[in-house]
């Protein structure tokens, strides 16, 4: 019986509270379309941008989205996807644009050549560089470490529980193809490739290595926001020459510099939408991208705030994209 009374009291209490709150009133919800973009829209319509899981890509998307919405009045949807799945989106019509592609010959063959649903739009202006890196403190202490010829001399420094008595070369991001197994073999290096398995693992490893002055040799790439936090130093492998990486088994040279590419859905590019024009013209430098990436990752700004800041600082670049 006691519980009975108690329970009833709670209910009446809740009802009274509710009445009281409603008495207070408050701002009501005006139904009607407030929807998304406020821009008048010069028949721009909707654009679906893929967002691949790294911050540099997010920087591209943030700026293009901001410009498309604010300047062109488009409605922009962003979709967080991995590379493979983004390409599938060209075929299904769910993705219009991939703003940064690091080279997927097989997917390009399939969707651009065979199915003809996607087109190569051109370069994004960013240049991708894959390579072997060491934390900056090592370069200071061992100045000659940036020459691959000296790597065997230092192999002992890089031993870990995972490398079976050899030096450890930490590979990592499963999204990227690597030649490292072949490189180690063909350059006769006393190293073992250890797969960390994620970008998070690689960055954590480099961050710790610099903080605690521990040796680390690892696979990394630029542009990448983390380079703004810890400027890793690249180890020079035998210079890249056209075709030296043709046979994956026999590679013995550095990775090529890769101009990063924009791809888009064919129908979208043919639609004559002003957004298609923007995507066509969009181009910026690694420094630009790293800066916006830093706004997003370190300063924790949201897409729009980060983009707005950069756009306001670089009006002429933006002007060139939308003319």
Partner 1 sequence: MTVLTASRAAFTRPGRGRLIVAVVGVFVVLAAILRGTHTLSLVPSDTTALHRWFNEVNRWVSSNRNESPLFLYFFNEIRAFVGSLTTFFQDLIAQPSYGRPVPIIGWLGVVAILTLLALVFANLRVALLVVAGFSFIGLQGLWEESMQTLALTLSAVFLALLIGIPLGIWAGLSDRVHAVLSPVLDFLQTMPTFVYLAPFTLLFLIGPASATLVTLVYALPPAVRYTAHGIRSVPRASVEASESLGANGFQRLVGVLLPMSMRTVVLGLNQTIMAALSMATVAALIDAPGLGKTILKALQTLDVGTSFNAGLAIVVMAIVLDRLTTAASRRAPVQQQPRWRRPLLIGAGLAALFCVYLSRTYVWAAEFSTGSTIGDDIARLSSTFSDWVTSTFSDLTGWLKDTTTALLLDPLQTLLVESPWWLVAALLLALAFLLGNLQATVVTAFCVAGLVLSGLWQDSMTTLAATLLATAATLLLGVAVGVWMARSPRADLIIRPVLDALQVMPPFVYLVPFLALFAASRFTAILAAVLYAAPVVIKIVADGIVAVSPTAVEAAIASGSSTWQTIWKVQLPMARPALVLAANQGICYVLAMIVVGGLVGAGALGYDVVAGFSQGELFGKGLTAGLAIVVLGIMLNRITQAAAERRRNA
75-83, 127-135, 235-243, 308-316 -> range binding partner 1 (CB under 8 A): 75-83
**Complex with partner 1: residue 209 or 318, whichever CB lies closer:** 209
Both ends of the chain: CA-CA distance in Å?
A: 78
Residues 14-43 that bind partner 1 (CB under 8 A): 14-15, 18, 21-22, 25-29, 31-35
Q: What is the DSSP string of 149-166?
A: GGTGGGGGGG--TTTTTS
User: Residue 177 belongs to what H/E stretch?
Assistant: none
Give the dihedral of Cα atoms 182, 188, 190, 191; nearest 10 deg. -20
Rg (CA), the chain: 26
Measured between alpha carbons, how far is 14 from 23 in angstroms, rounded to an integer? 14
Closest CA to 323 of 260, 264, 270, 281: 281
Output the smallest distance, CB 53 to partner 1, in A: 6
Interface size with partner 1, residues (CB under 8 A): 81
User: Rounded to the nearest 5 degrees, what angle is found at the Cα of 268, between the Cα atoms of 265 and 273?
Assistant: 150
Residues 110-129 that bind partner 1 (CB under 8 A): 110, 114-115
Contact status: 196 vs partner 1 (CB under 8 A)? yes
Output the smallest distance, CB 321 to partner 1, in A: 26
Query: Position of tokens 């810890």?
Result: 230
Contact status: 75 vs partner 1 (CB under 8 A)? no
Binding mask 247-266 for partner 1 (x = CB under 8 A): -x------------------
**Complex with partner 1: residue 297 or 318, whichever CB lies closer:** 297
Output the smallest distance, CB 70 to partner 1, in A: 20
155-163, 232-240, 304-312, 313-321 -> range binding partner 1 (CB under 8 A): 155-163
Q: Which of 42, 162, 236, 313 binds partner 1 (CB under 8 A)?
A: 162
39-47, 139-147, 167-175, 279-287 -> range binding partner 1 (CB under 8 A): 167-175
Measured between alpha carbons, how far is 288 from 269 in angstroms, rounded to an integer? 25
Output the smallest distance, CB 15 to partner 1, in A: 5
Measured between alpha carbons, how far is 120 from 195 in angstroms, rounded to an integer? 32
Burial group, residue 266, by CB count within 10 angstroms (0-12, 13-18, 19+): middle
Structure tokens, 285: 């430098």
Query: Position of tokens 């900056």?
Result: 136
Contact status: 107 vs partner 1 (CB under 8 A)? yes
Output the smallest distance, CB 274 to partner 1, in A: 26
Q: Which of 106, 113, 188, 247 binds partner 1 (CB under 8 A)?
A: 106
Contact status: 239 vs partner 1 (CB under 8 A)? no
Q: Which of 60, 61, 73, 89 binds partner 1 (CB under 8 A)?
A: 89
Q: Are 191 and 202 in contact (CB under 8 A)?
A: no
**Complex with partner 1: residue 55 or 130, whichever CB lies closer:** 55
Output the smallest distance, CB 234 to partner 1, in A: 21
């Amino acid at each position: 019986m006691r519980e009975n009374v108690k329970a009833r009291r709670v209910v009446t209490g809740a009802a009274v509270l509710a009445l009281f709150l409603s008495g207070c009133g408050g701002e009501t919800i005006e139904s009607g379309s407030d929807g998304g973009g406020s821009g008048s829209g010069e028949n721009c319509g909707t654009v679906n941008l893929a967002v691949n899981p790294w911050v540099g890509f997010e920087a591209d998307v943030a700026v293009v989205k901001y410009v498309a919405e604010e300047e062109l009045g488009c409605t922009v949807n962003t979709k967080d996807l991995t590379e493979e799945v983004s390409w599938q989106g060209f075929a299904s019509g769910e993705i219009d644009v991939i703003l940064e592609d690091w080279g997927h010959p097989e997917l390009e063959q399939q969707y651009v050549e065979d199915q003809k649903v996607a087109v190569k739009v051109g370069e994004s202006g960013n240049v991708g560089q894959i390579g072997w890196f060491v934390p900056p403190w090592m370069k200071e202490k061992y100045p000659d470490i940036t020459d691959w010829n000296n790597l065997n001399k230092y192999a002992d420094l890089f031993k870990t529980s995972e490398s079976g008595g050899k030096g450890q070369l930490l590979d990592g991001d499963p999204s990227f193809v690597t030649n490292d197994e072949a490189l180690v073999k063909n350059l006769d290096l006393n190293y073992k490739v250890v797969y960390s398995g994620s970008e998070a693992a690689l960055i954590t490893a480099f961050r710790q290595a610099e903080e605690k002055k521990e040796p680390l040799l690892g696979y990394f790439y630029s542009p990448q926001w983390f380079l703004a936090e810890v400027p890793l130093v690249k180890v020079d492998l035998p210079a890249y020459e056209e075709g030296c990486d043709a046979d994956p088994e026999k590679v013995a040279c550095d990775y090529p510099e890769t101009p990063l590419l924009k791809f888009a859905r064919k129908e979208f590019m043919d639609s004559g939408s002003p957004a298609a024009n923007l995507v066509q013209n969009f181009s910026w430098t690694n420094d630009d991208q790293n800066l916006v990436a830093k706004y997003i990752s370190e300063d924790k700004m949201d897409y729009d705030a980060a983009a707005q800041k950069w756009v306001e600082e670089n009006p002429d670049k933006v002007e060139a994209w939308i003319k």
